[in-house]
């Protein structure tokens, strides 16, 4: 079953086709609006440069530390139709929302495990 595009897909579709010089701007100043240029066919010959820039940005933002996280899902109910998400409202899945007591129990379990 095909789902309507989510907000992110609509945002990308509304952006103009990237020009080759847009790739230079995207590498210099990464942003959501730069994503189409980074994913465009013009970017393929510069994939090594893209990978190096991605590494630089990652190190700038996160350093060399590896951080683990464990999500605490309170509910899988959703009102959005994001095409990439397993919680999308159009999917035929059993929906569940935790009670406050269940959330507290889950949170304590995560704390006990070091998260």
> Domain coordinates of the chain in residue numbers?
7-62, 68-115
Sign (positive/negative) of CA torsion 39, 44, 45, 47? positive
List pLDDT tens digits, range 18-49. Answer: 776 788 999 999 888 888 888 888 889 999 99
The residue that leads in pLDDT, 24 or 13, is 24
- Residue 55 binned pLDDT confidence (cut-offs 50, 70, 90): very high
* Verdict on whether the full-model pTM lies above 0.85: no
pLDDT value of residue 32: 83
Nearest Cα residue to 51 out of 33, 38, 63, 42: 38
């Amino acid at each position: 079953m095909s789902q309507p595009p989510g907000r992110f897909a609509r945002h990308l579709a509304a952006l103009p086709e990237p020009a080759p010089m847009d790739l230079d701007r995207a590498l210099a100043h990464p942003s959501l609006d730069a994503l189409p240029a980074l994913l465009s066919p013009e970017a393929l010959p510069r994939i090594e440069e893209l990978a190096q820039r991605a590494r630089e940005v990652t190190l700038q933002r996160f350093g060399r530390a590896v951080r683990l996280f464990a999500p605490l899902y309170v509910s899988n109910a959703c009102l959005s139709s994001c095409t990439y998400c397993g919680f999308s409202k159009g999917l035929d899945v059993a929906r569940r929302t935790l009670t406050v007591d269940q959330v507290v129990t889950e949170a304590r379990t995560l704390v006990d495990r070091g998260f």
